[in-house]
Amino acid sequence: MAHNVIIIGSGPAGYTAAIYLGRAGLDPVMVTGALTPGGQLVNTTEVENFPGFPEGVMGPELMDNMRAQAKRFGTEFIADDVTAIESAGSDDAPLYRLALSDGETLETRAVIIATGSNFRKLGVPGEVELSGHGVSYCATCDGFFFRDKPIVVVGGGDSAFEEALFLTRFGSSVTLIHRRDEFRASQIMVDRAKENPKLTLLTNTVVTEIHGTETAPAAPALSLGGLALNPKPQVNVSGVSLKNTVTGETAELETAAVFVAIGHTPATDFAASVASRDEDGYIIVDGASTRTSTPGIFAAGDCVDRVYRQAISAAGMGCRAALDAQEYLSE
């Protein structure tokens, strides 16, 4: 039996679409992704800019809440990956067949692709261990935490420069590190960076390791029945090892944060045969809608949006995809 609508991906875009479609009585099915159900926010600590949480909320808790809300309205979850989508119906009654990585197939009248994007990693020691403790991939999300502290940004494209310039509002200094001596970023961004007294450009340089040191816990010791409970000390970023790509010279640089801005890869390869994509793999949608190049297939969130890349903007687009799908299904 064909489903009404299948949502692929369980980030803010996917869960929001599921909440709307569930409330519309369309019995949505969600293929959550096998490895990271909940999406990118399950890998972060505190989220301070999602409306409705005046004290902030931990990323995994926010995503658990979204899942519970989608479940409440009847969403069925399948913990797997979609590996391909193909057309299986006629022009009069379009149908789509989704292949899952466990070999199963699902049929559906409409699809919402909400598979997000993966940020590229540096792949150096310390990066994974200190992620969320000074290593970040999003200046808008985390810049605020590094007020009056030295910050490093790695990358040489427009987004690296945008992040670095934005971070000068917070950091005591910002050092942008790039492996070549020429930047991919537009000249206007480079000029702006050069004019900014807080920003230093370090070219022909790579980060070879990210270091952390233990810092005292922010919260005071708790007392439970006369027993003192000391929160665990945290290890946070304290510096980076650098290497000059031309001379081979090495150096150490103190920093409280490393923002990695070397690009994102949208997770859209599986949809290539049904949805037109741009040269970087982002799904192309029709104007302000979420309609892709194939009727009945919609896309939302970071797999479409190369500009805003925030939980709230992904959630907003998930809402639009649900309303677009709802209209399509009622035609």
Ligand X SMILES: Cc1cc2nc3c(=O)[nH]c(=O)nc-3n(C[C@H](O)[C@H](O)[C@H](O)COP(=O)(O)OP(=O)(O)OC[C@H]3O[C@@H](n4cnc5c(N)ncnc54)[C@H](O)[C@@H]3O)c2cc1C
- Cβ–Cβ under 8 Å, residues 13 and 300: yes
Site membership for ligand X, residue 58 (CB under 6 A): no
- Cβ–Cβ under 8 Å, residues 204 and 181: yes
Task: Clarify whether 303 is annotated catalytic.
Answer: no
Q: Which of 309, 320, 321, 324 binds ligand X (CB under 6 A)?
A: 309
Site membership for ligand X, residue 208 (CB under 6 A): no
Q: Which 247-276 positions form the footprint of ligand X (CB under 6 A)? A: 267, 270
Residue 145 or 196 with smaller CB distance to ligand X: 145
Site membership for ligand X, residue 82 (CB under 6 A): yes
Distances (CA, A) of 301 to 104, 199, 269, 327: 26, 31, 16, 19
Residue 6 or 207 with smaller CB distance to ligand X: 6
Residue 37 or 134 with smaller CB distance to ligand X: 37
- Cβ–Cβ under 8 Å, residues 117 and 266: yes
Q: Which of 2, 138, 323, 329 binds ligand X (CB under 6 A)?
A: 138
Site membership for ligand X, residue 301 (CB under 6 A): yes
Other beta carbons within 10 angstroms of residue 129's beta carbon come to 12
Name the E strands within 24-100.
29-31, 46-47, 57-58, 76-78, 82-87, 96-100
Q: Which of 25, 49, 188, 251 binds ligand X (CB under 6 A)?
A: 49
Task: Clarify whether 142 is annotated catalytic.
Answer: yes
DSSP 116: -
Distance CA 30, CA 41 (A): 18
- Cβ–Cβ under 8 Å, residues 21 and 34: no
Q: Which two tokens stand for residue 108?
A: 């559906």
Q: Nearest 10 degrees: CA dihedral of 163, 158, 58, 220?
A: -20
Among residues 293, 321, 280, 260, the alpha carbon closest in space to that of 11 is found at 321
Among residues 69, 44, 70, 68, the alpha carbon closest in space to that of 58 is found at 44
Among 9-17, 230-238, 273-281, 288-296, the segment contacting ligand X (CB under 6 A): 9-17
Set 27, 80, 138, 158: catalytic member: 138
- For residue 279, the minimal CB distance to ligand X (Å) is 20
Q: Which two tokens stand for residue 160?
A: 């690296």
- For residue 314, the minimal CB distance to ligand X (Å) is 3
Residue 77 or 245 with smaller CB distance to ligand X: 77
Q: Which 94-123 positions form the footprint of ligand X (CB under 6 A)? A: 114-116, 119
Site membership for ligand X, residue 298 (CB under 6 A): no
Task: Clarify whether 319 is annotated catalytic.
Answer: no
Among 35-43, 220-228, 247-255, 321-329, the segment contacting ligand X (CB under 6 A): 35-43
Distance CA 69, CA 19 (A): 7
Set 27, 64, 92, 141: catalytic member: 141
Q: Which of 3, 18, 21, 44 binds ligand X (CB under 6 A)?
A: 44
- For residue 114, the minimal CB distance to ligand X (Å) is 5
Distances (CA, A) of 195 to 157, 158, 191, 234: 17, 16, 6, 36
Site membership for ligand X, residue 10 (CB under 6 A): yes
Q: Which residues are catalytic?
A: 138, 141-142
Residues near ligand X (CB under 6 A) are: 8-14, 31-33, 36-41, 43-44, 47, 49-50, 81-82, 114-116, 119, 137-138, 141, 267, 270, 301-302, 309-312, 314
